[in-house]
């Protein structure tokens, strides 16, 4: 019976850590850049776009397609950075737990 109580305590502890980590990720802001910094995207750890900066030199009628590509690339860069932070936080939190490789926790 003690093992069950101990396990329940660990589950509650893990749940509290998970909630704290989710709050940290939601508050996280990352910047993605493309074109050598000509386009910068700021987004939250949850993927919400918070800001977009575009160098004025890109505002030329014949370069609209380039600008569109740079915005997409900057967004991907920011998303990749946010995912890397989330993966690291998850790894730290679940250290020592028998979780199968590749299993994603619900975020």
Q: Is the pLDDT of residue 76 over 80?
A: yes
- Mean pLDDT, residues 37-51: 89
Stated pTM of the model:
0.64
pLDDT of residue 106: 52
Tokens representing 40 are 């910068």
What are the strands of the beta sheet with 49-54, ordered from one edge?
29-34, 39-44, 49-54
Tokens representing 7 are 């396990």
Q: Judge whether 90 and 82 are in contact, CB under 8 Å.
A: no
DSSP result, 75-87: HHHHHHHHHHHHH
pLDDT band at residue 78 under the 50/70/90 scheme: very high
pLDDT of residue 14: 80
């Amino acid at each position: 019976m003690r093992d069950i109580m101990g396990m329940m305590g660990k589950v509650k502890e893990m749940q509290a850590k998970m909630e704290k980590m989710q709050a940290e990720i939601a508050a996280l802001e990352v910047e993605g850049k493309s074109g050598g910094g000509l386009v910068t995207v700021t987004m939250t750890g949850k993927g919400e776009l918070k800001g977009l900066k575009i160098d004025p030199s890109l505002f030329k009628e014949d370069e609209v397609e380039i600008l569109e590509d740079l915005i997409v690339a900057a967004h991907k860069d920011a998303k990749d950075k946010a995912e890397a932070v989330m993966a690291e936080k998850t790894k730290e939190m679940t250290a020592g737990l028998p979780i199968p490789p590749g299993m994603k926790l619900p975020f």
